[in-house]
Chain A
């Protein structure tokens, strides 16, 4: 097996008395889809926030492609190829969907670039092409604040994918999406990410989604990883079923 794409070792972070990360060790393998599950408050989002530079761990290291990235600014981490999407979609609400994606492309190529006027047609074409892959072509000219939740989620992820990351962290890509749309959205996502050869880590509450699409599952519990392995194995574990999935199904 090749060296992992991302390695976290001994990550610790406490807010007041709450231990959001209490010694996290995790390797993300190249090309895999890794699902993170666990009850609310277990520290799943905190892990994404630490990996992408929004929060700085109090202890521990994060290595990406063999280089330490612990405590770097979000924008420095993005430049190295780690992008993220958000539980609450973070779109530029005054712009259209296409402009949102085009701006992400401009950000990737450098907003300071003196070539910007020449690159604009290329960004527009590439934005349209990206939206097509996400099935959002019909909404390209809609203002971002006029979309429904499912479309906003997809647009949010499309912006992250436009950055051409090698690792994408998604915070609850299907939460708030109508049940009928859910599987469609996930299928779109998986297809796009496989095509682009992006390694993905995603926080998920829906066990059906996890079972169908994840290569491995990490179970979070009180800032620790309680179990890690293929979905069939992990989800069948009686402890996981009782401690995590039981709570999940309730919640």
Chain B
């Protein structure tokens, strides 16, 4: 299964490049999907510990705003990526120190509440953040090169793809490590973990900070792709979408988040084009169907199909 996972991941990466070459408009969609997929890997880590955050979009938002604010002063994509990620990671550590004391519904609600505070600040302090109008992100250089818009978009797409592969591999190692195993032990028997000498809170906190970091990477990529940031990036419904993508893709594999993100973005675009005011309804219907009929998500469906072929 692990080899199949690797092969499928590589095949998907190649397919994405081909698709982006054949249909340039897809490049934009795929870049966003890859970015969200990276953020959803972070959600997946928390889900392993049985914790659902309904506020993780806030790390995407914080990083995106950091990029937008810094872009005029430091017009270099790679530096902006690092800066945005750093802002999200530090915020993740501060928020994580607080929320890692809580579990389950309280964990979810506190994340939600904190994200709403930050969302409101972004929305209300117009003089600094331009409120709901949002901020335009200036076109930065890429690795010192001043690129045309189209070339810059290619560069960000490539960057997103490389980062996605990197984070997927990292997450696979992490989940197989004792830290990753201890994460799912939090879900089933946290007390036992303490009686084995493992500080459960620190295990959860480190996963939380990692997830904020991944959200930060996603936020910076999204900011440089859409080149326009608004508070909606951090609204709780955006956080809900991240959890949605995690379940849609399936939590069984690090490919799940990307399967989910690509499907989510494509359904959103096609549904939006077909019925302008009902794309949310269609996405909601998809989500409902997945939970009720395929709780393992897309990855679970692929796995099931493989097993049936392996054992006829």
Q: Do chains A and B touch in the complex (CB under 8 A)?
A: yes
Q: Is the CB of A103 within 8 A of B178?
A: yes
> CB of A163 within 8 A of chain B?
yes
> CB of A131 within 8 A of chain B?
no
Q: Mark A79-95, 1 if CB is under 8 A from B, else 0.
A: 10001101000111111
> CB of B276 within 8 A of chain A?
no
Q: What is the CB-to-nearest-CB distance from B184 to chain A, in angstroms, rounded to a whole number? A: 6
> CB of A112 within 8 A of chain B?
yes
> A163 contacts which chain B residues (CB < 8 A)?
196-197
> CB of B199 within 8 A of chain A?
yes
Q: Is the CB of B178 within 8 A of A159?
A: no
> CB of B120 within 8 A of chain A?
no
**A54, A93, A94, most chain B CB atoms within 10 A:** A94
> CB of A74 within 8 A of chain B?
yes
Q: What is the CB-to-nearest-CB distance from A48 to chain B, in angstroms, rounded to a whole number? A: 11
Q: Is the CB of B178 within 8 A of A106?
A: yes
> CB of B237 within 8 A of chain A?
no
> CB of A20 within 8 A of chain B?
no
Q: What is the CB-to-nearest-CB distance from B180 to chain A, in angstroms, rounded to a whole number? A: 9
Q: Is the CB of B189 within 8 A of A91?
A: yes
Cα separation A108 to B182 with both chains bound (whole Å): 13
Cα separation A107 to B182 with both chains bound (whole Å): 9
Which of B184, B195, B199 is A92 in contact with, Cβ under 8 Å? B184
> B185 contacts which chain A residues (CB < 8 A)?
92, 95, 103
Which of B177, B184, B198 is A107 in contact with, Cβ under 8 Å? B198
Cα separation A54 to B189 with both chains bound (whole Å): 15
Q: How large is the interface on A (under 10, 10 to 19, 20 to 34, 35 or more residues)?
A: 20 to 34
Total cross-chain contacts (CB, 8 A): 75
**B173, B192, B193, most chain A CB atoms within 10 A:** B192
Q: Chain A residue with minimal CB distance to B184?
A: A94
> B198 contacts which chain A residues (CB < 8 A)?
75, 107, 111
Q: What is the CB-to-nearest-CB distance from A127 to chain B, in angstroms, rounded to a whole number? A: 12
Q: Is the CB of A111 within 8 A of B178?
A: yes
Q: Is the CB of B189 within 8 A of A93?
A: yes
Cα separation A99 to B176 with both chains bound (whole Å): 11
Q: Is the CB of A92 within 8 A of B188?
A: yes
Q: Is the CB of A107 within 8 A of B187?
A: no
Cα separation A95 to B173 with both chains bound (whole Å): 17
Q: Chain B residue with minimal CB distance to A123?
A: B178
> CB of B226 within 8 A of chain A?
no
Cα separation A46 to B143 with both chains bound (whole Å): 63
Q: Mark B160-200, 1 if CB is under 8 A from A, else 0.
A: 00000000000001000111011011011101111111110
> CB of A104 within 8 A of chain B?
yes
Q: Is the CB of B182 within 8 A of A103?
A: yes
Cα separation A196 to B192 with both chains bound (whole Å): 22
> A111 contacts which chain B residues (CB < 8 A)?
177-179, 182, 198, 203
> A113 contacts which chain B residues (CB < 8 A)?
178
Q: Is the CB of A78 within 8 A of B188?
A: no
Q: Is the CB of B195 within 8 A of A83?
A: yes
> CB of A58 within 8 A of chain B?
no
Cα separation A136 to B141 with both chains bound (whole Å): 61
> A86 contacts which chain B residues (CB < 8 A)?
192
> B199 contacts which chain A residues (CB < 8 A)?
75
Q: Mark B27-39, 1 if CB is under 8 A from A, else 0.
A: 0000000000000
Q: If the complex has contacts A99-B181, A112-B179, A116-B177, are A107 and B197 also in contact, measured as CB distance less than 8 A?
A: yes
Q: Is the CB of B177 within 8 A of A95?
A: no
> CB of A73 within 8 A of chain B?
yes
Cα separation A104 to B191 with both chains bound (whole Å): 13
Which of A84, A91, A108 is B195 in contact with, Cβ under 8 Å? A84
Q: Chain B residue with minimal CB distance to A162?
A: B196
> B191 contacts which chain A residues (CB < 8 A)?
54, 90
Q: Is the CB of A159 within 8 A of B196?
A: yes
Q: Is the CB of A90 within 8 A of B177?
A: no
Q: Is the CB of A106 within 8 A of B181?
A: yes
Q: Mark A43-87, 1 if CB is under 8 A from B, else 0.
A: 000000000101000000000000000000111001100011010
> A238 contacts which chain B residues (CB < 8 A)?
none
> CB of A17 within 8 A of chain B?
no
Top 10 nearest A-B pairs (CB, nearest first) are A106-B178, A107-B196, A78-B197, A90-B192, A111-B178, A75-B197, A74-B194, A92-B185, A107-B198, A93-B188
29 interchain pairs (CB within 8 A)? A52-B195, A54-B195, A75-B195, A75-B196, A75-B198, A78-B195, A86-B192, A90-B192, A91-B188, A91-B189, A92-B192, A93-B189, A94-B187, A94-B188, A95-B181, A95-B185, A103-B182, A103-B185, A106-B182, A107-B182, A108-B196, A108-B197, A111-B177, A111-B179, A111-B198, A111-B203, A113-B178, A117-B177, A159-B192
* Known A54-B191, A75-B197, A75-B198; 18 more pairs at CB < 8 Å: A75-B194, A90-B192, A91-B188, A91-B189, A92-B185, A92-B192, A93-B188, A95-B188, A103-B178, A103-B181, A104-B196, A107-B178, A111-B179, A111-B182, A112-B179, A116-B179, A159-B196, A163-B196
